[in-house]
A and B are shown apart, each in its own frame.
Chain A
Amino acid sequence: MQAGVAFDDNLNRAERSPDRRSDTALGFAGSAGSRLQIGANGSVTFSGTFESLSFDDLEGLNRISPGASVSFRVKTRVGARVPWFQVAVASAFQDFRDDARRGQFYQGRIRYGWFAGDNASFTVEGAYSIRNASLAVFDQNAESLSFRAEWPLGGWGALFGVYQIRRGDVASSSPPNPEVLAQAKERAPDPVFGPASIAYRLEATSHDLQAGINSAIGRHASAEVVLERLVALAAGGIDYGVSQVRASFLYRF
């Protein structure tokens, strides 16, 4: 189970500063599942997932997302710090309060993880995701490649950094903007961000950098704080930046 709070300074992914809308969200996420060990080094995990987000101001973005995932993980040999592979598929129904955004989300991913000595650990991940929303402007297909590194901090926690490059659809909402309109694959009114707001579907490449720290609290819980900076570059010189701060508390049974 996980509960947290997140602040996003550009929720509508607007290009121009005056058009940007920020907000804070409270979130809750949980998963429960069953792990089936396959031989000494492999396992399959079936999970039911649930996620909810509740925004302070932009209530149209509030959502609950029940879903499911299946993953297969295999270690290359017996041991604690040995390389591993994981293949996973996940799906969730994203039940936004805003009807236009409501839809199904699918993701497939493959991960490889390894360790350096007793301390650092690394993960590289490739993923492909699809979102089919009620309105085509919120449909998204995207592929991503990410790299994560983690270092322990004196036994009480860990410092981590993530870089992700993602190529695919993004939804950007702003007052009518001819430059964005010229590049948009889809567009539609988006009252979630105001009566004059238009949502555009663009193809963009985004670069996402995260730095975080997490700390074990007892034997079952941990707390985490993450800073994130994302820059998306779309055709026609259209780009936007997003900064996020997230804090969360995780409890594992």
Chain B
Amino acid sequence: MRSSVRPLRPAVLALCLLVTPPGAIGSAGAATLAVTVRDQSAHPVADAVIVAVPLQGIPRPKGERPKEVIDQIDKAFVPRVKVIQVGTSISFPNKDNIRHHVYSFSQAKKFELPLYKGLPAGPVVFDKPGVVVLGCNIHDWMIAYVYVVESPWFGKSERAGEVRIVDLPAGEYDVEAYHPRARDAAEPVRSRVTIGAAEPAAIELQITLRPAARSSRPPKGAEGEYP
């Protein structure tokens, strides 16, 4: 049986469940899942989003949802990839000394924060699951991805391609992997994992990436005729 939750539709390809050896120790009654994400060349993949979706159902959120921040620094979104739970609000402070115009046309969240410096009027609440692609209308190379997920168990890989999801209750999970450059945008890489009470688990996922379509900075264009 698979989870009925299919909130995101970016990444996928091959996936290998390689090992389940002892790893880090989780809190009492709950376990830690360590995930290593590699690309088709076995290089570690940064900025991969990992979501553990419990087959027994996603618990109702309790308490106030966290407030998150995506900065704009040196004409770039920081961080470039963020994963949040549905209902979380994100504020977008502009820390440059120029104005930015943040927008998204993604189905999961359409919004615009017209030209501003400093803090915009208010945070944006992401109330539907899905991937939200952010841009700046003034600086077209600025791009960021917000993955809005329903499960409370998620993480994002760092440079070494590693993610640790803590406090997972015992049970069966579909572990899903997403990445902005995953070759197959239709489905995430997915692996079924059984988590025992207080038993740490570790898996390795392989995700096939396509080359980046855009540089983080505009290369020299037709502006400068040289010499």
Contacts and interface: CB of A to CB of B under 8 A. Distances in A.
Interface residues of B, number: 30
Contact of A118 (B138, B140, B213, B217): B213
Contacts of A51: 226-227
B219 A29 contact: no
Interface centre among A4, A35, A40, A75, by most B CB within 10 Å?
Answer: A40
B222 A81 contact: no
Interface centre among A118, A215, A219, A246, by most B CB within 10 Å?
Answer: A219
A125 B221 CA distance: 13
Contact of B227 (A6, A35, A37, A78): A6
B79 to A, nearest CB: 15
Contact of B211 (A125, A154, A215): A154
Interface centre among B74, B98, B213, B215, by most A CB within 10 Å?
Answer: B215
> How would you classify the secondary structure of chain A's contact residues: helix, strand, loop or mixed?
strand
Interface string B76-105: 100000000000000000000011010101
A65 B217 CA distance: 27
Interface centre among B74, B213, B226, by most A CB within 10 Å?
Answer: B226
A224 B138 CA distance: 25
Given A78-B137, A79-B135, A214-B220, A246 B226 contact: yes
B143 interface: yes
Given A51-B227, A148-B222, A250-B220, A155 B212 contact: yes
Given A27-B226, A37-B115, A216 B219 contact: yes
B143 A80 contact: yes
A167 to B, nearest CB: 18
Interface string B105-128: 100000010110000000000000
Contacts, number: 94
B3 interface: no
Contact of A78 (B112, B143, B224): B112
Contacts of B105: 79
Nearest to A78: B137
Interface in A173-219: 214-216, 219
4 cross-chain pairs, A with B, having the tightest CB-CB distances, nearest first: A155-B212, A154-B211, A27-B227, A80-B140
20 contacts: A2-B220, A6-B227, A35-B98, A37-B138, A43-B138, A53-B227, A78-B137, A80-B140, A81-B140, A118-B214, A119-B213, A155-B213, A155-B214, A162-B222, A216-B219, A219-B74, A219-B217, A222-B220, A224-B219, A246-B226
Interface of A: 2, 4, 6, 25, 27, 29, 35, 37, 40-41, 43, 51, 53, 75, 78-81, 111, 118-119, 123, 125, 148, 150, 152-158, 162, 214-216, 219-220, 222, 224, 246, 248, 250, 252
Given A155-B215, A214-B220, 15 more contacts: A2-B224, A4-B227, A6-B227, A40-B115, A78-B112, A80-B135, A123-B221, A125-B222, A154-B212, A155-B214, A156-B215, A219-B76, A222-B217, A222-B220, A246-B227
